[in-house]
Chains A and B, each alone.
Chain A
Amino acid sequence: AQSVAQPEDQVNVAEGNPLTVKCTYSVSGNPYLFWYVQYPNRGLQFLLKYITGDNLVKGSYGFEAEFNKSQTSFHLKKPSALVSDSALYFCAVRVFDAGNMLTFGGGTRLMVKP
C-alpha cells in the first residue's frame, strides 16, 4: 500500500532563512509526487510535482523539491522564506488504481517569523 509521511507537525523558520519541509513516501513502482499548500479556510493549491526527469523540481512561489529515490524522500525547500509562506503544506503520492487518487501526508504547518 502507498503511504506518505511528514514527520514534522510544525516547522519554524525566521524570515530570510532557508526552509525545508520533509516528506518520505512508500509506493510500489515509480511514484508521482506532489506538494500542495493550504492557507486558512481555503482549498489546497498545487505547488509542484515530480513525474520523471530531473530530480530537482521547481514550482510556484519560489519553492522547489528534490526527489531522492534511494532515501524515498521528496523534501520541499525554499532558499529564503517569507512571512507570507506561513501555511499548511501537504505532500502527496499518486495511487495507481481505478480511482487514480492522491494519498496525502498529515500536513506540516510552516511558521515564518519576521
Chain B
Amino acid sequence: QVQLQESGPGLVMPSQTLSLTCTVSGDFINSAGYHWSWVRQPAGKGLEWIGHTYTNGNINFNPSLKSRLTISLDMSKNQFSLKLSSVTAADTAVYYCATYFEGYGGQGHWGQGTLVTVSS
C-alpha cells in the first residue's frame, strides 16, 4: 500500500518560492507506471490539478501555472517535489500529493495535505 506524506514550510512570503516535498513509502518512486502528482485546494473552494511527473522524468503542468512550476523526482530519497515561484496570496491553499497508476483512471493514493499560506 503506497503512502504519501507532504512536508514543507507552512508560510511563504509573497514573491518567494513555495517548496514542498512528498515522501513516498510502500513502493519505489522509480517503479514503472506511476505518475506522481500535485493538487491544491484554496479554503472553501474546489480541487485544482497542478501537475504530474512520470518515472521517466516527463512532466505535465496546469497551463495556468506552467511558467512558475517545477516538479522533480529524487530517487535516492524516494521523494518528489513541487516548486512554485513568484507566489501571491492566490497561491494560499492546502497542497496534496497523489499517485496515478498508468491505465488505472483515478488517483488512488493521496497524502493528508499541507496548508501553505502566502503572507508577509
| Chains A and B come from one and the same complex | no
Which B residues contact A (CB, under 8 angstroms)?
A: none
Which A residues contact B (CB, under 8 angstroms)?
A: none
